[in-house]
Amino acid sequence: MKRHRLSVVLLLVVLGIAGAVWAGPKEEVAAATAQWATMFVDENPDRILTLYAPDAVLWGTLSPTVRQGPAALREYFVAAFKVLPGHQVSFGEQLIRVYGKTAINTGYYTFSYVKDGETKSIPARYSFVYVKTDRGWLIVDHHSSAMPTLLR
């Protein structure tokens, strides 16, 4: 019985390692984007900045200006976390394309937050441009804008 249990554990370990090996660049970029969502909700600007390259550019949903570099990005996230209390983000469809060591993830997400006891939401579209580094996939360009209303 003990021997059977050990075999099952070893099999699971091997399958887990194999799964990591079989993950391709698209899956890695999807995982990097999921990590961004987790860190965004954590409200820690220093932690989310670890996902951005040092020369990264951000044109944020709540920003009238483009921002470049860690100090400017940090300033954006500090302000965003303040104006979006209790914020969450949920991703919709993601279109991931990989071109060697560069990848682009384009899609839409919805930010939700609570203001005056009422849940509000901001549907937005985004593009993340990633570059593969020795630290993994880092964001070098992030554009996000509120979804426009349909013209009638």
CA atoms within 13 A on the CB side of 95: 6
Report the amino acid identity of residue 151: L
- Chain centre distance of CA 110: 13
Q: Please give the pLDDT value at position 11.
A: 40
C-alpha R_g of the chain = 19
Q: Please give the pLDDT value at position 49.
A: 98
CATH no., domain 25-146: 3.10.450.50
The pLDDT tens digits for 67-109 are 999 999 999 999 999 999 999 999 999 999 999 999 999 999 9
Q: What is the mean pLDDT of the chain?
A: 88
Q: Please give the pLDDT value at position 150.
A: 77
> Between β-strands 136-146 and 52-59, what pairing exists: parallel, antiparallel or unpaired?
parallel
DSSP code at position 78: H
Q: Compute the average pLDDT of residues 123-145.
A: 97
Identify whether the C-beta of residue 108 lies closer than 8 Å to the C-beta of residue 126. yes
The domain ranges of the chain are 25-146
Pick 43 or 20 by higher pLDDT: 43
